[in-house]
Structure 1
Amino acid sequence: MLNTSNPNNYEYTTKHLELHILGGIKTNKLETLRITLSVQKPKSHNVLRHSVDLYNDNQVEKLVRKIAERLELGTSVARRTLQDLTKELENYRFVLLEQQATPTYKELTATELRAAEAFLKKKDLLNRTNELIGKSGVIGEVDNRLLMYLIFTSRKTNNPLHCISLGSSGVGKTHLQSKVAELIPEEDKVEITVLSANAFYYFNRTELQHKLILIEDLDGAESVLYPLRELQSKKRITKTVVHKDTKGTTKTIHLTVEGPVSVAGCTTQESIYEDNSNRSFLLYIDESHEQDSRIMQYQRLASAGKLDKQAQMDALQLLQNVQRCLKTVTVINPYAEYLELPLSVFKPRRTNSHYLQFIEAITFYKQYQREQKVNEDTGEVYIETTFEDIQEANELIIDVLLRKSDTINGATRNHLENLKAYLKENNQATFTNAEIRRNLRVKETTLRRYNKQLLEEGYIRRIKKDKVKSYCFEVIDLEEYETLKAQIDEALNTCLHRIEVATSPVTRHQQNGEPKKKKAS
């Protein structure tokens, strides 16, 4: 019998011979069965070591004669032993291939299944989920963590969402992404640090379908950004390569990898990855002093051993089980025609698509609270978006739309808002570079870059002091960001009002041509 308990040293023992297969066997080339053998008689020190392809008859016959000569054994015994060994190795290789082809999925127990389904049926599901994410160890980032979790959940839909975490170095972009990704089952995600140029094309055709692809730093994946964008947009990528078959004939083959996938990455350089940013939700990390305090307090508690690790593990396990309970189902938004984005949003076509997909992602997550309906024409099962789903989506997405409507990048916007707060606090209208460097602790080169963009976009202006020849700066409009936010908020509320009017009983009667019935006194 073949003993494979040691993956680097298989044992095969018969009455006459003891064989060891050193280094195991390879599963990538089924046309050969090359192994390194160690052959000896039982309880003998005379050992023959030899590399052979068991599918090559000439090599096998030479080995048979060498075994018979070296170990003083009949050739028929040696030949029969090698033939039996070949059959055993073939069968074991097929077992290995089946194990590799079949991903390992965790089977939920009845108790775990009931707990996950009961959680998905609870009211106020998004707030409960956000609280549970916090209990699992994600500190602060209340909106970002829920947004990211819902984006990761959308991998199971036919139109997944994508996100890029942005922020300066060392503020916790990768930490936030990795902590939220821990809430996704291992079998549903692919974590990548560095990729070669052709890496994506050599996955199996359906290996990435409905998977979450996590890129630690986009700087390490520059070579695959183009196929990654195509996989996001077209949901499939194809590469044509030249290949030689077993007869040596050159043929052209197509390597195709199917999507859809959800992609998440981190970077400090927003402008460099603009094409990828256009396809993604941009999540700006909270760099405030309050968030610094929350994180440092968490670190101190962890160091003091005062964190409830078991509660964190329970929250993490429950959210993973919730993900396993979600089934693929079509989502239809009957209110989609009433939803319009504010005119201030850049690239409105793609942003509008993201907005609608995000609403569908919320509905998909609430599938256990929705009645399943059947399309009479196609027989397709679907669930419908509710007015509440749109309200919750608007509350979560307003900051994303605000950033999409801004004419300056995120780092410059954060600096401008800090600058405004400083000016209001000190009750002054103008500032100098030296003053800002000293009080806001900004490097000179960084401040010069911020000022250049703010001057070009018309957010600040240079003015000359009366008494001296030096220059200082002035913020043109201290309330411009609040005004922009109010415009977006008003546009979203207008959409909600339009839906309320369209679905009110009075409007339905008017559309049906029926007079509204008066109540009896």
Structure 2
Amino acid sequence: MLNTSNPNNYEYTTKHLEVHILGGIKTTKLETLRITLSVQKPKQHNVLRHSIDLYNDNQVEKLVRKIAERLEIGTSIARRTVQDLTKELENYRFVLLEQSQVTATGKQLTATEIKKAEAFLKSKDLLSKTNELIGKSGVIGETTNRILMYLIFTSRKTNNPLHCISLGSSGVGKTHLQSKVAELIPEEDKVEITVLSANAFYYFNRTELQHKLILIEDLDGAESVLYPLRELQSKKRITKTVVHKDTKGTTKTIHLTVEGPVSVAGCTTQESIYEDNSNRSFLLYIDESTEQDQRIMNYQRRASAGKIDKQGQTDAVQLLQNVQRCLKTVTIINPYAEYLELPQSVFKPRRTNSHYLQFIEAITFYKQYQREKKYDEQTGEEYIETTIEDIEEANQLIIEVLLRKSDTITGACRNHLENLKQYLKENNQTTFTNSEIRRRLRIKETTLRRYNKQLLEENYIQRVKSKTKSYCFEIVDVDEYSNLKEQINSALQNCITQIELAISPQSHHGQNGEVKTKKAS
């Protein structure tokens, strides 16, 4: 019988011979069965070692004669042993193939698991309940970022996936947040990258990356693959032309194509370096406040004291993974898309507008079990429609993203400026010096100099005369950021108002489906 308990040394024992298959067998190239074996009589030390393709009849006949001569045994016994071994290895290889296919397609949910996941997807206030469950899974704080990231990861199943980059200074938990939220995505749906060579992406199977989540721990360690990643994000496919020699030695040109779409997530401390990638992504700025520090340290203390509900965390992770497995690919139509306009303050409005619409679609996709399935009269294609509630929830979550997209300074510099405003307000000051800020806010001199240079260039701060020799500064407009936030909020709310007016009882639909509003008498 074939014993495969040791994957690197299979054992096949008969009454007359003992065979060891060294290194196991490969599940690729089913047209061959190449192995390295050692053959001996039981309890003897005369061993024959040989590499062979068991599907090559000439090689098998030579092996049979060699076994008979070396071990002094009949050729009929040797031939029957090799034939039976070949059949056992074939059957085991089919078992391995079936197991690998199950792993690739993912876990098969039981009826109970499906019922529980679907009931959750049909529940009221789905996004807030999902956010609460993410917190139970072990993600501390970051209430907006974590639900944003989860929805972005969920969009991998749509035809227009979203992408995100987590930004923050070193040691604030960018990678931790990404990895914890990624735990809520089934293993079969994600690819984690630490370091990858420039050409590695082109050697995936054609559809191996379709609708996958690609996780990059640190963009600094994956610079070589950023270009093919950008192409996958934009064009949803990458192609490389290489020269290849066939078995006859003939040189020919072949095309290596890898199909998308994919959802990409990464972390970095250097926002300005990856501008081409950040333009295609949602920028999620990690909470670096002292309150968040306290929340994380309290959690660490409780974990060290053994007061964390590990089983509750595991159950939350399992439920959200099952929820992901229950989501099916479906077309999304947003009947209110024409009423949605971004604030004029947003930079690169074309790409940002596309992200905004895709994010609304991602929310609709996640709430597909609460939507009536409709069918296109001409094509018969199934689809679901976005509701005003989806748009309102998207506006609440995306306002911080749009605010950052409208800012003229980097996120790190903005965080410094807001901390500076808070410090001046608490101390009833309007001016400050570099030495004071370095000491009170504990900032390195080089970092502060870099922030000041950017703030001076963008006219957020200005120099003022001082009685001392040191430079003195003041903030030009303390309320500029809150005013910008109010402007964006008003623009988004205005879109909702326009939609509500359009679908109010005073409006009616024309024959061509266009919404027309009756004039008030």
Same fold (TM over 0.5): yes
Partner residue in 2 for 1:180: 181
Kept in 1, the 8 Å contact 2:502–2:517? The answer is: no
Partner residue in 2 for 1:81: 81
- 3-state SS of the aligned residue for 1:294? helix
One-letter identity of the residue aligned with 2:112 = T
Kept in 2, the 8 Å contact 1:330–1:382? The answer is: yes
- 3-state SS of the aligned residue for 2:165? strand
Partner residue in 2 for 1:46: 46
Two-structure CA RMSD over aligned residues (Å): 2.1
Q: CA deviation at 1:80?
A: 4.3
One-letter identity of the residue aligned with 1:238 = T
Question: Is residue 151 of structure 2 the alignment partner of residue 143 of structure 1?
Answer: no
Q: 1:225-258 CA deviation, whole Å, 9 max, x = no partner?
A: 0001111111111111222222222222221111
What aligned pairs does 1:191-202 form with structure 2 within 5 A after superposition?
191-202=192-203
Closer, same or farther: CA 514–12 of 1 in aligned 2, 3 Å: closer
User: Which deviates more from structure 2 when the two are superposed, residues 204-213 or residues 41-50?
Assistant: 41-50
Q: 1:33-73 CA deviation, whole Å, 9 max, x = no partner?
A: 43221111233332222333445555544433332222112
Q: In 1, distance between residues paired with 2:212 and 2:347?
A: 29
Kept in 2, the 8 Å contact 1:509–1:515? The answer is: no
Closer, same or farther: CA 240–30 of 1 in aligned 2, 3 Å: farther
Q: 1:74-108 CA deviation, whole Å, 9 max, x = no partner?
A: 33433443344334434433443444345152222
Q: In 1, distance between residues paired with 2:25 and 2:250?
A: 27
One-letter identity of the residue aligned with 2:278 = S
Closer, same or farther: CA 200–88 of 1 in aligned 2, 3 Å: same
Question: Is residue 503 of structure 2 the alignment partner of residue 489 of structure 1?
Answer: no
Q: CA deviation at 1:474?
A: 1.4
Kept in 1, the 8 Å contact 2:461–2:476? The answer is: yes
Kept in 2, the 8 Å contact 1:236–1:259? The answer is: yes
Q: 1:110-162 CA deviation, whole Å, 9 max, x = no partner?
A: 22222211111111111111111111111110100111111111111111111
Q: CA deviation at 1:426?
A: 1.2
Q: CA deviation at 1:471?
A: 2.3
User: Which deviates more from structure 2 when the two are superposed, residues 509-518 or residues 375-384?
Assistant: 509-518
Flag structure 2 segments of 5+ consecutive residues without an equivalent: none
- 3-state SS of the aligned residue for 1:508? strand
Partner residue in 2 for 1:14: 14
Question: Is residue 320 of structure 2 the alignment partner of residue 314 of structure 1?
Answer: no
Closer, same or farther: CA 509–82 of 1 in aligned 2, 3 Å: closer
Closer, same or farther: CA 471–386 of 1 in aligned 2, 3 Å: same
Question: Is residue 433 of structure 2 the alignment partner of residue 448 of structure 1?
Answer: no
Partner residue in 2 for 1:284: 285
One-letter identity of the residue aligned with 2:281 = S
Closer, same or farther: CA 315–488 of 1 in aligned 2, 3 Å: same
Q: In 2, distance between residues paired with 1:402 and 1:85?
A: 67
Q: CA deviation at 1:443?
A: 0.2
Q: In 1, distance between residues paired with 2:164 and 2:486?
A: 25
What aligned pairs does 1:93-492 form with structure 2 within 5 A after superposition?
93-102=93-102, 103-465=104-466, 467-492=467-492
Question: Is residue 512 of structure 2 the alignment partner of residue 504 of structure 1?
Answer: no
Kept in 2, the 8 Å contact 1:509–1:516? The answer is: no
Q: In 2, distance between residues paired with 1:293 and 1:513?
A: 54
Q: In 1, distance between residues paired with 2:191 and 2:133?
A: 24
Q: In 1, distance between residues paired with 2:515 and 2:218?
A: 56
Kept in 2, the 8 Å contact 1:52–1:59? The answer is: yes
Q: In 2, distance between residues paired with 1:468 and 1:47?
A: 92
Q: CA deviation at 1:187?
A: 1.5
Q: In 2, distance between residues paired with 1:38 and 1:513?
A: 84
Q: In 1, distance between residues paired with 2:493 and 2:69?
A: 91
Kept in 2, the 8 Å contact 1:164–1:282? The answer is: yes
User: Which deviates more from structure 2 when the two are superposed, residues 59-68 or residues 111-120?
Assistant: 59-68
Q: 1:467-495 CA deviation, whole Å, 9 max, x = no partner?
A: 34442111111111111111111111111
One-letter identity of the residue aligned with 1:20 = H
Closer, same or farther: CA 513–157 of 1 in aligned 2, 3 Å: closer
Closer, same or farther: CA 16–198 of 1 in aligned 2, 3 Å: same
Kept in 1, the 8 Å contact 2:162–2:263? The answer is: yes
User: Which deviates more from structure 2 when the two are superposed, residues 30-39 or residues 247-256?
Assistant: 30-39
Kept in 1, the 8 Å contact 2:197–2:225? The answer is: yes
- 3-state SS of the aligned residue for 2:96? helix
Closer, same or farther: CA 321–478 of 1 in aligned 2, 3 Å: same
- 3-state SS of the aligned residue for 1:262? strand
One-letter identity of the residue aligned with 1:342 = P
- 3-state SS of the aligned residue for 1:293? helix
- 3-state SS of the aligned residue for 1:505? coil
Flag structure 1 segments of 5+ consecutive residues without an equivalent: none
Q: 1:170-198 CA deviation, whole Å, 9 max, x = no partner?
A: 00001111111111111111111111111
User: Which deviates more from structure 2 when the two are superposed, residues 17-26 or residues 449-458?
Assistant: 17-26
Kept in 2, the 8 Å contact 1:358–1:393? The answer is: yes
State the 4+ residue runs in structure 1 displaced beyond 6 angstroms.
509-518
Q: In 2, distance between residues paired with 1:81 and 1:488?
A: 78
Q: In 2, distance between residues paired with 1:341 and 1:442?
A: 36
- 3-state SS of the aligned residue for 1:214? strand
- 3-state SS of the aligned residue for 1:282? strand
One-letter identity of the residue aligned with 1:361 = A
Q: CA deviation at 1:31?
A: 5.5
Closer, same or farther: CA 436–259 of 1 in aligned 2, 3 Å: same
- 3-state SS of the aligned residue for 2:507? helix
Q: 1:360-379 CA deviation, whole Å, 9 max, x = no partner?
A: 11111111111111111010
- 3-state SS of the aligned residue for 1:168? coil
Closer, same or farther: CA 337–432 of 1 in aligned 2, 3 Å: same
One-letter identity of the residue aligned with 1:307 = I
Partner residue in 2 for 1:70: 70
Closer, same or farther: CA 497–50 of 1 in aligned 2, 3 Å: same
Partner residue in 1 for 2:4: 4
Closer, same or farther: CA 516–400 of 1 in aligned 2, 3 Å: closer
- 3-state SS of the aligned residue for 2:303? helix
Q: In 1, distance between residues paired with 2:401 and 2:224?
A: 28
Q: What TM-score does the superposition give when structure 2 sets the normalisation length?
A: 0.94
User: Which deviates more from structure 2 when the two are superposed, residues 84-93 or residues 139-148?
Assistant: 84-93
Closer, same or farther: CA 227–512 of 1 in aligned 2, 3 Å: closer
Closer, same or farther: CA 86–110 of 1 in aligned 2, 3 Å: closer
